[in-house]
Amino acid sequence: MPFIKWTEDLSVGVAELDSQHKSLIDLANALYDSINNGNDREILGKALDRLLDYIAFHFGSEESLFQKYGFPYERTHKREHDQFSWRVLDMRGRWNRGEDLQISEVQDFLSDWIQNHILHSDKEYAGFFKSKGVR
Ligand SMILES: [Fe+2]
Ligand SMILES: [Fe+2]
């Protein structure tokens, strides 16, 4: 069972970004599953890499739209993205050094951050992009 689920209330009104959020959630769920299914080093390492790559891609997509349309809260939003990326990179680094990841860390941090960020910070740009005609 997925531990994060995309629902309509997470929609930011931009089709491409909604679809990216769904993929991001899928990748976070895959990471969660791989820890739950025995923490296999190779599988989990790959799940972390895929998540990191996708995070960079998705944050880049949002940030280039911010630039293009002059979103006024770009700096604070980008700071949240950067802090999150560093934390996942840190997880990856600890994993590389042989530490096991705790399911509680993934649950508490990854799931809470993703949902809160979409629900609060990403939702902040929904009205702005709508006013600019971005769908
Ligand atoms: Fe987002
Ligand atoms: Fe964001």
The tens-digit pLDDT sequence of the chain (135 residues) is 567 899 999 999 999 999 999 999 999 999 888 888 887 888 888 999 999 999 999 999 999 999 999 999 999 999 999 999 999 999 999 989 988 888 788 777 888 899 999 999 999 999 999 999 998
Residue 119 lies in a domain: yes
CA separation for the pair 118, 9 (Å, rounded): 10
Ligand 2 centre distance from Cα of residue 50 (Å)? 18
Ligand 2 centre distance from Cα of residue 118 (Å)? 6
Residue 44 lies in a domain: yes
Nearest ligand, CA of residue 124?
2
**CATH classification of the domain holding 79:** 1.20.120.50
Domain range for residue 106?
Answer: 8-131
CA separation for the pair 78, 84 (Å, rounded): 10
Residue 57 lies in a domain: yes
Q: Per the structure, how many domains does the chain have?
A: 1
What is this structure's pTM? 0.92
Which H or E run includes 47?
A: helix 41-69
Ligand 1 centre distance from Cα of residue 108 (Å)? 18
Ligand 2 centre distance from Cα of residue 40 (Å)? 30
CA separation for the pair 80, 58 (Å, rounded): 13
Q: What is the per-residue pLDDT for 16?
A: 96
Residue 98 lies in a domain: yes
Nearest ligand, CA of residue 19?
1
